Amino acid sequence: MSEGDPRAPDVGIYEVSPRDGLQNEDEFVSTEAKLELIALLTASGLRRVEVASFVSPSWIPQLADADELVSVLRRSPGVRYGALVPNEKGYERLRAAGPIDVVGTFVSASETHNQKNVNCSIAEQLARLAPVFERSRADGIAVRAYVSTVCGCPYEGEVAVRAVVDLSRELIERGAAEVSLGDTIGVGHPNQVRELVGAVASEVSIERIALHLHDTYGRALANAQAGFEGGVRIFDTSLAGLGGCPYAPGASGNVATEDLVDLFEREGIRTGVDLDALVDASAWLERDVLGRRLPGRVFRARLGERERERRAL
Amino acid sequence: MSEGDPRAPDVGIYEVSPRDGLQNEDEFVSTEAKLELIALLTASGLRRVEVASFVSPSWIPQLADADELVSVLRRSPGVRYGALVPNEKGYERLRAAGPIDVVGTFVSASETHNQKNVNCSIAEQLARLAPVFERSRADGIAVRAYVSTVCGCPYEGEVAVRAVVDLSRELIERGAAEVSLGDTIGVGHPNQVRELVGAVASEVSIERIALHLHDTYGRALANAQAGFEGGVRIFDTSLAGLGGCPYAPGASGNVATEDLVDLFEREGIRTGVDLDALVDASAWLERDVLGRRLPGRVFRARLGERERERRAL
């Protein structure tokens, strides 16, 4: 999306379905299907897609094919591909696999959550990430830093705004191009998101702040709108709302890409994404790949609309 | 909710699950189960519940037991019970059945939708409702007027704001205590809701405007918040999001009571409703009555939380 383009999108979407979306799926999704998913996503106009994770295959067997996937990935022009790494070893695997444009790192704003997630303290996790930041800089690869549990922690409950602000600033100072504030368990509400974004933006440039919202309590879109009003222009989404919440079995996870795109486009906020292409991709993913009902609302409603139009012919 | 109570709710909820929620269910729900549902709803603190519809039993077989249900209904103190009527005949059935506090009437802001829904024009529908308004006034029963398709029509597409404003004013002038603006197919978006509420409020007192939102495209909560910001203080909801959208098979329908309550309470807006009691009611409805997955987000997430807490003990 060149800045000179008069039709440049007003918001950027960071699509996470191939990684964050799939990682909770029990049945292994073939590398071929993952590649097809990624191709459909970029064909819809999405310009940044997180395609893999280089955490230990024993942690997340679903993403164990990261090396192969990245090595055979057919890159689309203008698209930036991201992958998650937990530490230097993951970074080395990523570099050996093939070209990746965005290295995703993650740390929690809550000590207990960080401990449960990566088995070390926040300070230790930052230390582990130091070589990832250094080597990414040397290799000319952008670092995206996920900060999780920013609106609440499943173990500690409330998370201090101050902790989120400090951690975000720290990550930017260490070289992150962008911080993605994750409402991991979806408990955030609009006033809270507005306040949090305002607080982080007082120490981190607003252009570097992304929102990673979960729809567990149905508030992801209301929160996205609050974030937009607060100046955020980068939103993480997942096709069809793919991605469960491990702390609330059966609950929905990431905000659905189609739901966010449709909301924003109707509000006059350009996303640069073809909604119909996304709906096609979701229908394929649900029917041909996963064989289970996905939680996104807009793709379901659009499929219903199409069916109605077909019958009316 | 007496005005002198310092803890009076900030918003009023008009619960529609026993009527609007159930009406699309294929399998008949017993009168006994409906009565239990109503009892659970009022026990949670809900103060207005629409319990039945006196449309022709052949139209909506699910609600064919309206007469019996109203006749045996055990009223809770402080609760106002509502029922829908399409015309004078329905009103007579309602009056014969037993005491009802709120008579619900309905008309669409879109000619085609009105025609498909009740087989007559908007003007004809208003004429049919005239005796209902008259007799309600004489009988001292409040009339609630539903205006449907206010944000869009499944047949005509766009619906003019002017049509919604004129119809709302007309209904209030004819004696409706309140108009409930229905986004029947859930296509509305926050700016649109804000604009619509502002337009109606320029001709109808804002205290008389309710919002009846559907979550078909996932925007019901964002729209509710926009409505609240625009001054609306009455919201129609349905337990667990019960109530499909007939125009989008598989899509979700009414905004879930729990989702709205949790959003508002977290934003500091008092609803006067006990969320845990609602979650219990939803769990019962899903498991013991309907035996299928209901779309509400908050009750699902809360059940997950409870399960997690139970395991942690």
* DSSP letters for B241-276: G----TTSTT---BPBHHHHHHHHHHTT------HH
Ordered by start, the domain boundaries in chain B are 12-312
- In this predicted structure, the answer to whether residue B134 has a pLDDT above a threshold of 70 is yes
- Which residues in A lie closer than 8 A to residue B251 (C-beta atoms)? 297, 300-301, 304
For position A107, what pLDDT does the model report?
97
**A92-109 residue pLDDT tens:** 999 999 999 999 999 999
- In this predicted structure, the answer to whether residue B107 has a pLDDT above a threshold of 60 is yes
- In this predicted structure, the answer to whether residue B248 has a pLDDT above a threshold of 80 is no
Q: Tell which wins on pLDDT, A121 or A24.
A: A121
Under 8 Å between Cβ of B209 and B14: no
Under 8 Å between Cβ of B50 and B82: yes
Terminal CA-to-CA distance of chain A, rounded, Å?
39
**A270-295 residue pLDDT tens:** 999 999 999 999 999 999 999 988 99
- Going by pLDDT thresholds of 50, 70 and 90, the confidence category of residue B3 is very low
Name the token pair of B11: 């918003």
- Which residues in B lie closer than 8 A to residue A225 (C-beta atoms)? 190, 222
Altogether, the residues listed in chain A come to a count of 313
Q: Tell which wins on pLDDT, B301 or A3.
A: B301
Q: Is the pTM of this model over 0.90?
A: yes
Residue in B192, B250, B268 closest to A304 by CB: B250
Under 8 Å between Cβ of B31 and B62: no
- In this predicted structure, the answer to whether residue A56 has a pLDDT above a threshold of 50 is yes
For position A63, what pLDDT does the model report?
94
For position B1, what pLDDT does the model report?
41
**A216-255 residue pLDDT tens:** 999 999 999 999 999 999 999 999 999 976 555 556 689 9
Chain A to chain B Cβ contacts (< 8 Å): 113
- In this predicted structure, the answer to whether residue A112 has a pLDDT above a threshold of 60 is yes
For position A3, what pLDDT does the model report?
45
- In this predicted structure, the answer to whether residue B4 has a pLDDT above a threshold of 80 is no
- In this predicted structure, the answer to whether residue B256 has a pLDDT above a threshold of 70 is yes
- Which residues in B lie closer than 8 A to residue A222 (C-beta atoms)? 221-222, 225, 263
- Going by pLDDT thresholds of 50, 70 and 90, the confidence category of residue B2 is very low
For position B12, what pLDDT does the model report?
98
Altogether, the residues listed in chain B come to a count of 313
Distances from the Cα of A64 to the Cα of A36, A60, A137, A179, B99, angstroms: 17, 7, 26, 25, 64
For position A310, what pLDDT does the model report?
87
Q: Residue B100 — φ and ψ, nearest 5°?
A: -130, 140
**A141-180 residue pLDDT tens:** 999 999 999 999 999 999 999 999 999 999 999 999 999 9
Residue in A217, A263, A300 closest to B251 by CB: A300
What percentage of chain B carries pLDDT values higher than 90?
A: 89
Under 8 Å between Cβ of A46 and A80: no
- Which residues in B lie closer than 8 A to residue A192 (C-beta atoms)? 266
**A19-51 residue pLDDT tens:** 999 998 989 999 999 999 999 999 999 999 999
**Mean pLDDT throughout B276-294?**
96
Residues of B with CB under 8 A from a CB of A: 154, 186, 189-192, 215-219, 221-222, 225, 245, 247-252, 256, 259, 262-263, 266-268, 296-298, 300-301, 303-305, 307-308
Angle (nearest 5°) at CA A58 between A54 and A62:
70
- In this predicted structure, the answer to whether residue A10 has a pLDDT above a threshold of 50 is yes
Strand A102-108 relative to strand A80-84: parallel, antiparallel, unpaired? parallel
Whether residue A304 and residue B263 make contact (CB cut-off 8 A), yes or no, is no
The residue of A24, A214, A221, A247 whose CB has the most chain B CBs within 10 angstroms, and thus the best one to mutate to test that interface, is A221
For position A4, what pLDDT does the model report?
47
- In this predicted structure, the answer to whether residue A313 has a pLDDT above a threshold of 90 is no
Residue in A249, A263, A297 closest to B215 by CB: A297
For position A6, what pLDDT does the model report?
60
- Closest by CA to A242, choosing from A231, A252, A234, A230, is A252
**Mean pLDDT throughout A64-72?**
97
Decide yes or no: CATH 3.20.20.70 for domain B12-312. yes
Residue in B216, B222, B305 closest to A248 by CB: B305
**Maximum pairwise Cα distance, chain B:** 62
Strand A178-183 relative to strand A209-213: parallel, antiparallel, unpaired? parallel
Whether residue A248 and residue B301 make contact (CB cut-off 8 A), yes or no, is yes
Q: Which residue in this structure is represented by tokens 């989702």?
A: B259
**B33-57 residue pLDDT tens:** 999 999 999 999 999 999 999 999 9
With CA atoms as reference, the chain B residue closest to A304 would be B248
For position A40, what pLDDT does the model report?
98
- Which residues in A lie closer than 8 A to residue B190 (C-beta atoms)? 225, 263, 267
Whether residue A251 and residue B297 make contact (CB cut-off 8 A), yes or no, is yes
Dihedral sign of CA atoms A230, A233, A239, A244 in order: negative
Å from A77 to nearest chain B CA? 32
**A176-187 residue pLDDT tens:** 999 999 999 999
Based on the number of CB atoms within 10 Å of its own CB, is B77 exposed (0-12), middle (13-18) or buried (19 or more)? exposed
For position B268, what pLDDT does the model report?
97
**What is the pLDDT of chain B when averaged over all its residues?**
94
What percentage of chain A carries pLDDT values higher than 90?
A: 89
Å from B262 to nearest chain A CA? 8
With CA atoms as reference, the chain A residue closest to B154 would be A305
Stretch among A304-308, B90-94, B106-110, B193-197 having the lowest mean pLDDT: A304-308
For the question of an ipTM over 0.85, the answer is yes
Centroid of chain to Cα A249:
20
**What is the pLDDT of chain A when averaged over all its residues?**
94
Residue in B154, B217, B259 closest to A217 by CB: B259
- Secondary structure (3-state) at A178: strand
